[in-house]
Each structure stands twice: as structure tokens, then as C-alpha cells.
Amino acid sequence: MHPLLEDPWIRAQVEAAVAPYQGRLSEAELTWMRDQLAETLASDDKAALLLRRARPVLIQESSEVRRDGGYDGGDVTRRGQKKAG
């Protein structure tokens, strides 16, 4: 298995790409397709760029950022703005 396929999001995208071939190709052929797709995503500049652009932005649960050495304890949204109310 190609190392890139260890990433769950990438693995899901590759699985979606080979899904139409399930039942039409052998498991060995599907494994080969997965590896070829992953290798293309890893080695082709345009494919790698498309992969980076397609990947959703990961936002941590806590978006608290300390800029002045402290936090006032208020409730904040994901964008760092105080919640209304």
C-alpha cells in the first residue's frame, strides 16, 4: 500500500474513485489502481496541487489564540470573534 493511502481523507477519495470498478476488477487490480492513483497524487505536480486545494481545512475544536499573553475568558467562535449574547 502506498504511504499516501494511510491518510484517511486521501484514502476515502481514492476509494471513491475506484468504487465504480468494484465487482468488475479483481482485488489485485483494484489494489494496483489505488497505488497508481496515490503515486500520481504524490509525484505529479498538478495532481498534488489539486489534492492540496481539494482537502478541507482542518480547524481544531479550540481556536483560542493567545496574542498578548493572556485570554479574557470570554466565549469565542471559530473565527476568534466573541459570541453574541
CA distance 48 to 34: 15
Please tell me the total count of domains within the chain. Answer: 1
Domain limits for position 13: 3-54
In a domain, 17, yes or no: yes
Instruction: Locate the DSSP E strands across 1-85.
Output: none
**pLDDT higher than threshold 50 for residue 71:** no
User: Directed axis angle between helix 27-43 and helix 8-18, to 10°?
Assistant: 130
For residue 19, being part of any structural domain is answered with yes
Which of the two residues, 14 and 60, has the higher pLDDT score?
14
pLDDT greater at residue 68 or residue 13: 13
CA distance 63 to 71: 12
pLDDT of residue 22: 95
